[in-house]
Amino acid sequence: MIDWVAAAFTSAKTAGDIAKSLITLRDEDMVRGRVMDLTGTLMELQQQMMLGQLEQMALIKQVAELEEALRKVSAKQNVLDRYELLGVGPAKVVYALKEEFQKTEPPHLCCTNCYDKGHRSVLKAIRQSGSTSMKFSCPDCANTFYITGEYLPAALRAQ
């Protein structure tokens, strides 16, 4: 990035030097030669400035892409932040919707395997007939397990 800036400053300085020397020249041929030198230097300066603009546009595009990626990651993290780890038996954990969010959506559990990979996967519950336990399965990774009645979250017992 600095290369084009340095080249542009060098070209501008050279153009200034040529312009100063034109003032002292009286010979028409010498003036024409110096004017051509000045024109070439100004064209070089213009080319360096265009390279700078192209680099600037590429950087602006890159910043916009990074901002969009950051926005997506932040939105995903906001969804995941609504859950907390909940023990549902010996060596069994799931992610449960935090209580403050249960007012806007029904209580549910999420797969720890999928959550740890960065996305939410709501577990599908199947009540076992004649039992207080429930079977849960993840539609994304096919993780399946049972939660017995005493460990079943209160919000899910009533369903």
> How far is 65 from 78, CA to CA, in rounded Å?
20
- Same domain membership, residue 101 and residue 57: no
Give 58-101 as a DSSP string.
HHHHHHHHHHHHHHHHHHHHHHHTTEEEEE-STT-EEEEE-GGG
| Whether residue 153 is found in the same domain as residue 86 | yes
- Domain boundary (27, 58, 76) is at 76
Residues 92 and 149 in one domain: yes
Split at pLDDT 50, 70, 90, the class of 8 is confident
Q: Are residues 11 and 67 in the same domain?
A: yes
Residue ending a domain, among 76, 103, 135, is 76
How far is Cα 85 from Cα 113, in angstroms, rounded to an integer? 12
Closest residue by Cα to residue 42 from 69, 17, 25: 17
Q: Are residues 50 and 97 in the same domain?
A: no
pLDDT at 23: 67
Among 61, 76, 91, the domain-final residue is 76
Instruction: Read off the pLDDT band of 22 (50, 70, 90).
Output: low
55-81 burial: b if 16+ Cβ within 10 Å, else e? eeeeeeeeeeeeeeeeeeeeeeeeeee
Nearest to residue 95, comparing CAs of 106, 82, 84, 80? 84
Same domain, 62 and 24: yes
* Structural domain of 100: 82-157
- pLDDT value at position 14? 79
| Residues 98, 58 share a domain | no
Contacting residues for 110 by C-beta, under 8 A, at least 6 apart: 83, 94, 95, 96, 97, 120, 121, 122, 123
Q: Over 70: is that where the pLDDT of 4 sits?
A: no
Same domain, 93 and 142: yes
3-state secondary structure of 137: strand
37 lies in the same domain as 93: no
What's the structural domain count of the chain?
A: 2
10 shares its domain with 66:
yes
Contact 149, 133 (CB under 8 A): yes
